[in-house]
Structure 1
């Protein structure tokens, strides 16, 4: 098999390591020619995944045509907010009848579209049945280092999901399949917002009780939005929902959590992002997630407060106090 991975950030590179480790011929598209040359010479992506050796079966390229030529599977691994522009350029170059797997986690600003829907909007209809999404609790560094990792592959066409499942499954990388394309994507996108909230709780020094409560109520909030958007609520209790949420809210490698921690400590967003040097998807997603939820008529108090802290400069302590002072109600409505 020949695979094209479009995007050489941390996760795109880690998936190149997984596929390349299986002997699959991988073309890894790198936007910046300088970084592309460095990866090829050093066999390492020192910007996004330092210290991880890239297999010889992975060829970094900075030309989309060369990346996609002869591809039997295409992996869309760009940040969600640039996927449209990249795949508008890539569309005429993608071979027909091959799986196109997005691993982006976000909601496009303005349109409120999920990653597969963005791809549908720029790719001709014959490509649409071959779209899939891979998501789950998977820090790029741990994936590339060979730590046991479990993810979900969702596609409307089950056979397409199975093809992707078989391509990616390796001794330390296990894939399950699903047909809930919406639920798997919303789990991956919305958990980043909740993870910022969880980090804020930690940055404020509120302790374990508060973090557990935030994660639990955050999952309820995610599920409400997902169901209103047509997802199966069970999906949100799986790897792409609860699994990814727990990882991102508690893991030290979580960029979204790190942003929240520093916000809770009183630092400015601009300063935090300047130090981070990589994309924290939740910072952009919180705006789209809030708009999506409000458009669906879904209550999202945690998302509302995270949005206010990030984009309106609200004091995190005041936001926490307002969440605790909300009207009393049953936990579940049966």
Structure 2
């Protein structure tokens, strides 16, 4: 039995406490300053306000001012903040971590720099705390389904394979399966970009909805997963084409950054992209854009919703533009991503260039 401290009590951070607790570990769940109501609810009722499952016994909840107590004797620390909380974690939590304790990161995203380089969060944290070992999680895993103990397969990546295996051995269960790898760039780039490209695939859903509404005298088809069209058929072809293009561009980006592009076809790439398309805020964002709404209107409709897809799309597109100026990459290899950036940051009209998609004649 070990002690696992989770900092960040949002959906995924809290969901990670479930396999940890099921394995008999003592779990200490620490809230950020934005999580005060969550921690209060857990302390008083053992109920998480937004994660629809019963939290196991043996999980202790701490407000952040008690984080030092929660870190005492920890065998593993899990960073459970979103990408918008990375700077806070780096400034407020990371300096407090005991020397030598391994850190497992659930946060998805990439940091952009002025020279066009992109940095993963584990590499960023390691620059700040070189005395610690860092690993990260990548793969198709929703907090809700992990909380329900659904069969789940993810990657744990770390430049130190022993760290990834250590975290795996603490957290693997009969329903939570973990593949360790040393390819941090391949995993982290894939899982970050899946948010951008899930928005891209969802454009086709919105396009189908808009077409459906234009057919006034034909019965509207509704489906809770894939929107129907006016002819009563499901429009899979456009979504599949955008899904394939997304994988092509993710593979190109992973290889550009020095990772293994083959991972894009597996758990952290296609796998995570698939599950992200089928629900939540990123799907809704892409659907609204696909219906032809300008992003300024979409923002109003999704006010208060954390849109990680917007930040990663903007950041990576800017990095590619910088690299293109230095003749390091051709933007023609990323037509879908660059159009997504134009939709978000230039209020460009939806105009997918289908002829630019695919791999024919493009050197990898």
TM-score, normalised via structure 2 length: 0.83
CA shift in 2, pair 1:36/1:315, >3 Å: same
Which residue number corresponds to residue 219 of structure 2?
none
Quote how far apart the aligned CAs of 1:114 are. Answer: 1.4
For residue 60 of structure 1, give the secondary structure of its aligned residue in structure 2: strand
Which residue number corresponds to residue 91 of structure 1?
94
**In the aligned structure 1, how far is the partner of 2:147 from the partner of 2:70?**
21
CA shift in 2, pair 1:331/1:40, >3 Å: farther
Quote how far apart the aligned CAs of 1:228 are. Answer: 0.8
* 1:202-256 C-alpha deviation (Å, 9 max, x unpaired): 111182101001011110100101101010112222201111112212x1x3321
Which residue number corresponds to residue 326 of structure 1?
356
Residue 229 (structure 1) aligned with residue 257 (structure 2):
yes
Larger deviation: 294-303 or 153-162? 294-303
Which residue number corresponds to residue 115 of structure 1?
121
Which residue number corresponds to residue 290 of structure 1?
317
Residue 254 (structure 1) aligned with residue 280 (structure 2):
yes
* 1:145-166 C-alpha deviation (Å, 9 max, x unpaired): 1110000011111111110111
For residue 4 of structure 1, give the secondary structure of its aligned residue in structure 2: strand
Quote how far apart the aligned CAs of 1:330 are. Answer: 1.3
For residue 257 of structure 1, give the secondary structure of its aligned residue in structure 2: helix
**In the aligned structure 2, how far is the partner of 1:22 from the partner of 1:197?**
38
**In the aligned structure 1, how far is the partner of 2:25 from the partner of 2:59?**
8
Deviating above 4 A after TM superposition, structure 1's stretches of 4 or more consecutive aligned residues are: 331-334
TM-score, normalised via structure 1 length: 0.90
* 1:117-172 C-alpha deviation (Å, 9 max, x unpaired): 2212332x221xx1111110011101111110000011111111110111110111
Which residue number corresponds to residue 300 of structure 2?
271
CA shift in 2, pair 1:12/1:329, >3 Å: closer
Given that 1:84 and 1:118 are in contact with CA atoms closer than 8 Å, whether structure 2 keeps it comes out as no
Quote how far apart the aligned CAs of 1:278 are. Answer: 4.1
For residue 113 of structure 1, give the secondary structure of its aligned residue in structure 2: strand
For residue 270 of structure 1, give the secondary structure of its aligned residue in structure 2: helix
Which residue number corresponds to residue 37 of structure 2?
34
**In the aligned structure 2, how far is the partner of 1:114 from the partner of 1:333?**
26
**In the aligned structure 1, how far is the partner of 2:320 from the partner of 2:70?**
37
Which residue number corresponds to residue 304 of structure 1?
338
**In the aligned structure 2, how far is the partner of 1:110 from the partner of 1:9?**
28
Which residue number corresponds to residue 313 of structure 1?
347
**In the aligned structure 2, how far is the partner of 1:243 from the partner of 1:331?**
27
Work out the number of aligned pairs and report it: 321
Quote how far apart the aligned CAs of 1:177 are. Answer: 0.8
Unaligned runs of 5+ in 1: none
Asked which structure has the greater CA Rg, the reply is 2
For residue 124 of structure 2, give the secondary structure of its aligned residue in structure 1: helix
**In the aligned structure 2, how far is the partner of 1:199 from the partner of 1:297?**
27
Quote how far apart the aligned CAs of 1:331 are. Answer: 6.0
Quote how far apart the aligned CAs of 1:288 are. Answer: 1.1
Given that 1:225 and 1:293 are in contact with CA atoms closer than 8 Å, whether structure 2 keeps it comes out as no
**In the aligned structure 2, how far is the partner of 1:5 from the partner of 1:290?**
32
Quote how far apart the aligned CAs of 1:66 are. Answer: 2.7
Residue 187 (structure 1) aligned with residue 190 (structure 2):
yes
Which residue number corresponds to residue 149 of structure 1?
152
**In the aligned structure 2, how far is the partner of 1:39 from the partner of 1:300?**
45
**In the aligned structure 2, how far is the partner of 1:218 from the partner of 1:5?**
32
**In the aligned structure 2, how far is the partner of 1:9 from the partner of 1:40?**
15
Unaligned runs of 5+ in 2: 212-234
Given that 1:150 and 1:174 are in contact with CA atoms closer than 8 Å, whether structure 2 keeps it comes out as yes
RMSD (CA atoms):
2.0
**In the aligned structure 2, how far is the partner of 1:313 from the partner of 1:229?**
29
